[in-house]
Amino acid sequence: MRSLDQLFEHSSRSLARRTSRRSLLAGLGQILTGAALLPLLPIDRSGRALAADAKPKAAGPESCDYWKYCAIDGFLCACCGGTSTSCPPGAAPSPITWIGTCHNPGDGRDYIVSYNDCCGKTSCGDCECNRNEREKPTYRPSRNNDLNWCMANADSNYHCSVSVILGVAEK
């Protein structure tokens, strides 16, 4: 049986799952006017997105809204004993990965990031994050976050996910 606390936590995470992307887009819409982003903008006009503009500071690595996490579907290692670039103690990084491009509102640049999974322990279960910018289905595996990227590890259980900057995306 789940406790009420667990249920509340779950529904809160579900809410975060539904709203985090809007918050991010609100931020992007405020900062960027690039033509490439125009297809993203209609959602920015919603009242909820505008309300999110009032957030006092940028989200950090323990938040799904953190800019580097724009296509993570899993648990944030930063909430599980690791950071946005390190696995929690005792977990092993996946050598294979999927790749995305995320916009850093702090410096106005787009970055290519590698989303690695950390492996060998069961699901962390904290800080569920489900963002899917430019995410593609399984037939394009290098852009897919549904696959268990621990698949090639000796211990292929999925624990959590990180986002590691590979470099600035060329315009």
Partner 1 sequence: MFAQAAPAPLAAEHLTVEKLPPKTPHWIYVFDASFDNEIDMRLRLFDGDTYRRLGQIDAGFMPGINLSPDGTQSVVATTYFARGSRGTRTDVVEFSDNTTLTPLGEIVLPNKRAMTAPNLFNVAYSEDGHFVYAAYITPAASFGVLDPANKKVLGEIDTAGCVLVIPSGPNRVSSLCESGRLLTVTLNPDGHESSRAMSEPFFDADADPVFVQGIASEHGYAFLSYLGEVHEIDLSGAQPVFAPVWPLVSPAEKGHWRLGGTQVGALHRALHRLYVPMHQGGEGSHKEGGTEIWVFDTRSHKRLARWAFQSAGLARILAVQVSQDPAPLLFAADSAANVAVIDALSGHVKHIEKHLGQTPWMMLNP
Binding site for partner 1 (CB under 8 A): 2, 7, 10-11, 14, 17-18, 21, 25, 39-43, 46, 70-71, 73, 96, 120-123, 125, 128, 130-141, 146-148, 151-152, 155-158
Sign, CA torsion 118/124/129/130 = positive
Q: For residue 130, what is the enclosing H or E element? A: strand 128-130
Least distance (Å) between residue 141 CB and partner 1? 5
Annotated catalytic residue within 44, 65, 67, 98: 98
Catalytic, 98? Answer yes
DSSP 63-127: STTSGGGTT-EEEBGGGTTS-SSSPPTT-EE-SS-EEEEEEETTTTEEEEEEEEEEESS----SS
Nearer to partner 1, 57 or 131 (CB): 131
Nearer to partner 1, 4 or 57 (CB): 4
Closest CA to 82 of 101, 67, 61: 61
Catalytic, 117? Answer yes
Annotated catalytic residue within 44, 65, 67, 117: 117
Least distance (Å) between residue 165 CB and partner 1? 20
Active site residues: 98, 117
